[in-house]
Amino acid sequence: MKLSWLRKAKVFSVYVVVISFITIAVGCGGGGSYDAPDSQSATPIWWDTYDQPASAVVSASDVAGWIANGNVTASGDPVVILDVQTDFSDTAANRIIGSTSIEDIEAFTIFDYRAEGPIDTVAINDTSAKMVPKGTTIDAMLQDLGVTHDTVIVLTSAASGNGVWNLTRGWWMLYYWGLAETKIKILDGGVAALAAADPTLVNTTAESVDPADSVFSVKDLPGLHTSSRVSTTQVINYARSGSAKIIDARGSSGTSGVAFGGRIDGAIVAGDAGIGGGDLVNADGTFKTKAEMQAAFDNAGISANDRIIVHCFSGYSATPIYFFIKEVMEYENVALYDGSWSAWSAHSAFTPVAATYIDGATTIHWDGSQFVQTVADTVVPTTDITQGGVLEADTNAGMLAYDTVRLSKDILFKAVSAWQDAYGNTTFTVNTEYTGSGTELATEDVEYVTSDDVTGDDSSGDGEDVVVSPDTGGC
């Protein structure tokens, strides 16, 4: 039976951002099945209590209790343990008995290649196009895991969440697609912590469990958590207005990039501030407490009152910091910059001409009206760096609205012939007539979850409007 009643009364937020100096609107951004009730005029009862705030960090002792209870929580919810790291073919590798390896979830991935904004790098599988998976991909994963609306998914790995980006990136993408914090958990300390809590629950020989498939869809849920993700256009607006704390999770070097290296102007370098991924975990791989990290965040000038954006090179190594801020520090207004520096450094509207500013040691910045050498404070001649870049702003000055070079610091251009991502991809498809929102993925994803039922058939219509609430993205 179709679950069209699940579409009733859905409300989602799509964010509207106004870009400076051009007039465009920017949007921010166990198995089984159900029988519909006799009356289909109301939303499911469980919707009212589904998306409740809760810590997504679960202790080894709690998970041990759930396993002892037949993989069921104390409140009766079925539990699926998904191991995102362990190689189950390795006879020396500990794994949780009864857990599922991602190798058995055919659709498992932490990204899809998707285009957003004026630059399309999907065709070449560029790093800058590695974005949050599509709704169809997420649905396939959840169905292969046998998930229903009451399933608790416990994500785990060998030990620490730092460096195991499948763990925190996996949590973030499920949260973005509407799963509640009560339903997606990360095992604190991973397999090693559970082995310490109860050695009988872990061995090196257990096979991965392949759960019975379900028919569950993210369309069954109350709504997306769209504010947990931001696009390049949204970050451009936050950087212009200075209305967000931007955290750069990359290491001490910011020289890597597509068209240029550097950092977003005003960004807080996580490692320098003592809030890098390695700073957030103990030696045993468990997360540090809020009390232990409070001073570091205070000293970095980051509080619960801030809009916080976290990025790295491609949107993976930043996720441990994102997760810690949200789930341990309990700062709710935090988002991951999907695409991160690989996307940011592709949005260049300038071309280096003088060798001084190409792959050398002379970094520059924009002072509001011109480029200036960072150390010497000398004005860069306009003949040395010309308007153009990947965005081809020399053919359409309107593309300057999407330029990130002038919002960066410690800029060091790469040679035009070397404009590429970390894997050597060099081809860009640029729409120089682009005047879109820069948040096409949010729009696409909202459209997916608001389609009429789990089959995606909108033919019957649900008669409900999507409510759009404005968010200037800092403009």
Helices (H) and strands (E) in the chain, counts: 11, 24
Give the tens place of pLDDT for each residue, 98-130: 999 999 999 999 999 999 999 887 877 777 889
pLDDT of residue 29: 34
Least confident piece of the model among 55-59, 335-339, 368-372, 460-464: 460-464
Is residue 169 within 8 Å of 319, Cβ to Cβ?
A: yes
- Percent of the chain surpassing pLDDT 90: 72
In this structure, what DSSP letter does residue 364 have? E
- Percent of the chain surpassing pLDDT 70: 83
d(CA 280, CA 301): 17
pLDDT at 370 over 70: yes
**Which band of pLDDT confidence, cut at 50, 70 and 90, is reported for residue 419?**
confident
Q: Give the three-state DSSP class for 17.
A: strand
Sign, CA torsion 179/323/314/396: positive
pLDDT at 87 over 50: yes
d(CA 79, CA 152): 5
pLDDT of residue 452: 63
pLDDT of residue 163: 62
pLDDT at 312 over 80: yes
- How many residues would you count in the chain? 475
pLDDT at 469 over 50: no
List the one residue out of 174, 120, 125, 173 whose CA is nearest residue 147: 174
Give the tens place of pLDDT for each residue, 150-197: 999 999 998 655 567 889 999 999 999 999 999 999 999 999 999 999
d(CA 85, CA 68): 23
Quote the crossing angle between the two packed helices 190-197 and 60-68, to the nearest 10°.
70
Give 126 or 382, the one with higher predicted confidence. Answer: 382
Average pLDDT over residues 283-294: 95
Q: 38-48: string of b/e by CB count within 10 Å (b at 16+)?
A: eeeeeebeebe
pLDDT at 455 over 50: no
Give the tens place of pLDDT for each residue, 12-61: 333 333 333 323 333 333 333 323 333 334 678 899 899 999 999 999 99
pLDDT of residue 43: 75
pLDDT at 272 over 60: yes
Least confident piece of the model among 39-48, 74-83, 93-102, 291-300: 39-48
Name the CA radius of gyration of the chain, rounded: 23
List the one residue out of 313, 296, 302 whose CA is nearest residue 250: 313
- Count of beta carbons in the 10 Å neighbourhood of residue 24: 15
**Which band of pLDDT confidence, cut at 50, 70 and 90, is reported for residue 470?**
very low
Is residue 281 within 8 Å of 219, Cβ to Cβ?
A: no
- Count of beta carbons in the 10 Å neighbourhood of residue 296: 18
pLDDT of residue 122: 83
pLDDT at 475 over 70: no
- Count of beta carbons in the 10 Å neighbourhood of residue 226: 24
pLDDT of residue 359: 85
pLDDT of residue 428: 74
Give 224 or 416, the one with higher predicted confidence. Answer: 224
Average pLDDT over residues 257-277: 93
pLDDT of residue 6: 35
pLDDT of residue 100: 97
pLDDT of residue 61: 98
Domains annotated on the chain, with CATH: 54-105+145-216 (3.40.250.10), 227-277+301-343 (3.40.250.10), 350-430 (no CATH)
CB-based burial label for 92 (10 Å; 0-12, 13-18, 19+): exposed
pLDDT at 4 over 50: no
pLDDT of residue 422: 57
